[in-house]
Structure 1
Amino acid sequence: KMKACVTPLPDVQNPSEVAGGAIKPFPSRLNAVPPKISNGLIPGVSSEAYQKDNKMWKKHVKAYSNVNKYLLTGRYRNIMDMNAGFGGFAAAIESPKSWVMNVVPTIAKIATLGAVYERGLIGIYHDWCEAFSTYPRTYDLIHASGLFTLYSNKCSMEDILLEMDRILRPEGAVIMRDDVDVLTKVNKLARGMRWNTKLVDHEDGPLVREKVLYAVKQYWVGGNQTAAS
């Protein structure tokens, strides 16, 4: 039996109500609690949890900018968040000079794309074991939080890193946060791809297992030597 491919809007009780909940004008809606969350339409997510997540990402982005001085300057125009959650990273960037493609992995425990849209952000569902369509652009900055742990039993780190390298422009930057053991392996692979990398402690100190790996894809070309067959 075929199922409807369009999700119906929630029922309303009277003509004055807005189906799904009223949305504030932009940019106020960027940090307001999305109606899908305030109305309990995303299971297991409360308004308090959303606000806590929002606050956390503002803290993370501030720490990022202390290491990557270009992050909030507008240098990175095309940005991707590979594991966007509620779009907190994109909201914390909040710059008219940049836009963020918020990707919600299809294997994520919670389907959050609706909340991303209600914040006035753009996004898409995607499985990172598959190639991502980059037409018509590549990206200046890629952010990946918890992505390698999420896909640890799905596909290899090498495949994900190669896909990141493919969609990242030369001299583009990458920010990855994950468990220290995971990032240690990622760091080794990234160096093999000729990325410049820097592994940094969590902003709350070295005792936190979660670390941040900063990387820059180098602009390089092959040498003049030709290989003999």
Structure 2
Amino acid sequence: MNVVPIDQLDTLPIIFNGGLIGVYHDWCESFNTYPRTYDLLHMSYLLGDLTKRCHIIEIAAEIDRILRPGRWFVLRDTIEVIRKMDSILWSLHYKTTIVKQQFLVATKGFWRPGNTGSQS
């Protein structure tokens, strides 16, 4: 599923022409899907503009809601945005790695109250 932000360049026709499916979405709102639906989420330079309209913690909470435990989130953005998201995801028990100062790769852990640490 390709998700095109409502406030950026409209690339949905290109996605459709390639035979793929996609939707428009405002990431400051809840995404209409069941929790723990996706195995991979990736964003490229999306959070910098989004944080002007909504808080990065709200976006991280939505990412956490729709991503399955043990699955991946990949973010390409400025190092400032990556560092902010890294600390938030760490607090949500993700295993994170910053690659080449432009990518954040995170794996969602499976955490329960009372556990001493995260498990994949």
TM-score, L = length of structure 1: 0.48
* C-alpha separation in 2, matches of 1:135 and 1:172: 16
1:124 aligns with one of 4, 17, 23: 23
The match for 2:13 is 114
Runs of 4+ in 1 over 2 A off after TM superposition: none
Tell me the secondary structure at the aligned position of residue 185 of structure 1: helix
Distance 1:215 1:146, change over 3 A: same
1:180 aligns with one of 79, 99, 103: 79
Number of residue-to-residue matches in the alignment: 115
| Counterpart contact for 2:36–2:69, Cα < 8 Å | no
Q: Aligned runs of 1:112-191 on 2, under 5 Å?
A: 112-135=11-34, 138-191=37-90
* C-alpha separation in 2, matches of 1:135 and 1:182: 27
The match for 2:2 is 102
Q: How many angstroms does 1:137 deviate by?
A: 6.6
Q: Aligned runs of 1:34-113 on 2, under 5 Å?
A: 101-108=1-8, 110-113=9-12
Task: Tell me whether 1:219 sits opposite 2:119 in the alignment.
Answer: no
Gapped regions of structure 2 (runs ≥ 5): 116-120
* C-alpha separation in 1, matches of 2:14 and 2:85: 30
Tell me the secondary structure at the aligned position of residue 114 of structure 2: coil
RMSD across aligned positions (CA) = 1.6
Q: How many angstroms does 1:136 deviate by?
A: 8.6
Distance 1:200 1:119, change over 3 A: same
Q: How many angstroms does 1:152 deviate by?
A: 2.2
Tell me the secondary structure at the aligned position of residue 142 of structure 1: strand
Gapped regions of structure 1 (runs ≥ 5): 1-100, 203-210, 225-229
Identity %: 43
| Counterpart contact for 2:34–2:66, Cα < 8 Å | no
Distance 1:127 1:119, change over 3 A: same
TM-score, L = length of structure 2: 0.90
Q: How many angstroms does 1:135 deviate by?
A: 3.8
Distance 1:190 1:136, change over 3 A: closer
